[in-house]
Chain A
Amino acid sequence: MAARRRAAVAGAAGLVLLAFAGIGAGTLVPIDPGATQLAERLRPPAAGHRFGQDSLGRDVAARVLHGARISLAVGSATVVISLVVGAFLGALAGYRGGWIDEALTRLIDVLLAFPGLLLAIALAAVLGPSVGNVVVALSALGWTGYARLARAEVASLRRREFVEAAEGLGGGTFRILARHLLPLAAPALVVQATFGMAGAIVAEASLSFLGLGAPAPLPSWGAMIEEGRPFLLVAPHLTIFPGLALAATVLCLQLLGDGLCDLLDVRRRVD
């Protein structure tokens, strides 16, 4: 348990560092991530260009740091939208039951009949490559996990005395959900959101890798890995650094999620 807690603190610290690195990218590496220097293309890591230069001579370190902004922004936006929509719909279905519950369950069943990434790829392909469309494509499916969890949590609580007391005092559906039920479902939802953010960040990078995410020349980690692929033999640094940044970010979120799971005592429910 203590080891898990230490790992969670390390994960949280890593995320804070990453966020600061993304925000302060311009100060940490004062080079324009879009500035090309064709004469210095594919140069390996050296003083002045710590992570080397890419196929257009752009600084890889600057692009990796600016890439953190895209990853964190897409991950956060997707999680917030999915969480708000999913928690609200799931809680409403769990509390009211009846046709609302039936309709939501059927809708989720159909959406989950597709592998998540496939639907996101199909949606992103039709909507066109842009950061906003990536968030839309990932949220279109992302809310289902939160809805299922919120529904199960609320359904297990709705016959409890404090809910009946609130109803007896004339509390409406939304007040009871917002004031009494959702706060109790919050710990499980927070843990799910932590893992969900890791999933959203990898999914964004996957879409960008396939050319369906952030459009060029935006420095998304997925797109950088794809751009570096043809030069693996001569310039492996183009692929290694954005991949390491991505893996480290996901690792931090996994450690944090695992630690929160124990800290908030919700492992059984989230698993």
Chain B
Amino acid sequence: MRLVARRLVLLVPTLLGVATLVFGFLHLLPGDPAEIMLGESAAPADVAALRRDLGLDRPLAAQYTRFIAGALRGDLGRSIAFQAPVTHVIVARYPATLELAAAAFVLAVALALPLGIAGAMRPGSSLDRAARLVTLAGACVPSFWLGPMLIFVFSMELGWFPVSGRGGLAHLVLPAVTLGLAMTGVLVRLTRTSLLAALGDGYVRTARAKGVGEWRVVSVHALRNALLPVTTVAGLQVGALLAGAIITETIFAWPGIGRLVVQAIDARDYLLVQGCVLAIGLTYVAVNTLTDLLQRAIDPRLRDGG
């Protein structure tokens, strides 16, 4: 309990840092945000009015205090493109991104663990070769190419899945594969390497010498230790999923926060861009904290060290 409290207290400076960076991104970069948002042809009076609305005419410290206070209340300003509070627009889109990221995560774990385990148990076998291929594909095939290729083959040529949009399970398959492939590759590699290392450890040799069956050696003894780094990396990969959602949602017209970022950038709606970046950053921090706590819960060595 004390550990959880300590970890949560440590979150405060990180969250403040995240909010400060997001603030700095709009306020400290060259150019006038009001001018950028309204475009070059905007009347000076309109630019001045927007500057006043955004509080850009005040000293930087005052702007910063206002931003932090607003963020704490959930007030991130008003979206020009959607004519609605930024928080409302983001909250409406968030479930779609969570659904896609969750599907990609489940798919990646469900594929990676069996492949990684099979690869480690039978190095050089055809399953091991498949595991290596998935690792290589995950590292080399970018999602913005994989997505269109999947659409071409499975939607246009074979007609198995819809081309785009959000709906039932059929709509989820191609976007989840596109988003999850890179993570699958990372996890396959890590599971394989980690299990191979564990299988060479002394306690595994002892278990085998005692006559414990191979399946039990792997599932009860080696895997429990081998999966610790996999848990950490799987948690960290959620951040990559959230960033990858920007591209995947654009390809499949998936109505989530990733597509919203691109729409906001196209509309020069920088308050909305700022809000989306903050929302994704906060989610990332929350997931990393949860991963950290989960890892300490399942690994007694970390608990002892505090």
Contact = CB atoms under 8 A, between A and B. Distances in A.
Interface of A: 106, 109-111, 113-119, 121-123, 125-127, 198, 202, 205-206, 209-212, 222, 225-226, 228-229, 232-233, 236, 239-240, 242-243, 246-247, 250-251, 254
A251 B277 contact: no
B243 A205 contact: no
Contacts of B261: 118, 121-122
A122 B284 contact: no
B160 to A, nearest CB: 15
B152 A206 contact: no
16 contacts: A109-B17, A110-B14, A113-B14, A116-B243, A118-B246, A121-B261, A122-B261, A125-B273, A205-B142, A206-B144, A211-B266, A212-B265, A225-B144, A239-B152, A243-B149, A247-B141
B26 interface: yes
Contacts of B141: 247
A90 B262 CA distance: 34
Given A114-B284, A118-B242, A122-B277, A210 B247 contact: yes
Given A114-B281, A126-B25, A247 B17 contact: no
Given A106-B17, A247-B140, 20 more contacts: A113-B281, A114-B281, A118-B243, A118-B281, A121-B265, A126-B25, A126-B36, A202-B142, A205-B142, A206-B144, A210-B250, A211-B266, A228-B148, A229-B148, A232-B151, A232-B152, A239-B145, A243-B149, A251-B136, A254-B139
Nearest to B33: A126
Q: B interface, by DSSP: helix, strand, loop or mixed?
A: helix
Given A114-B284, A232-B152, A226 B144 contact: yes
B145 A243 contact: yes
B239 interface: yes
A226 to B, nearest CB: 7
Contacts of B244: 117
Contacts, number: 119
B152 A233 contact: yes
A109 B14 contact: yes
A228 B251 CA distance: 12
Contacts of A242: 145
Interface string B5-24: 00000000110011011000
Nearest to B264: A125
B280 interface: yes
Given A206-B144, A250-B140, A125 B280 contact: no
A170 B212 CA distance: 61
B217 to A, nearest CB: 25
A99 to B, nearest CB: 15
B240 interface: yes
B111 to A, nearest CB: 20
A52 to B, nearest CB: 15
A115 B239 contact: yes
B10 to A, nearest CB: 10
A115 B14 contact: no
A117 B277 contact: no
Nearest to A110: B17
A243 B149 CA distance: 9
A228 B145 CA distance: 10
B133 to A, nearest CB: 12
Given A115-B239, A115-B240, A232 B156 contact: yes
A124 to B, nearest CB: 9
Interface string B116-146: 0000000000000000000010011110110
Contacts of B242: 115, 118
A247 B142 contact: yes
A243 B250 CA distance: 17
B21 A246 contact: no
Contacts of B43: none
B280 A236 contact: no
B285 interface: yes
A245 to B, nearest CB: 10
Contacts of B277: 114, 118-119, 122
B145 A247 contact: yes
Contacts of B250: 210
A85 to B, nearest CB: 18
B17 A254 contact: no
Contacts of A212: 265
A246 B146 CA distance: 12
Contacts of A233: 152, 156
B61 interface: no
A150 to B, nearest CB: 21
Contacts of B243: 115-118, 121
Contacts of B262: 210
A243 B178 CA distance: 14
Interface string B258-282: 0001100110001001000100110
Contacts of A222: 144
Contacts of A236: 152
A247 B31 CA distance: 37
B1 interface: no
A247 B250 CA distance: 20
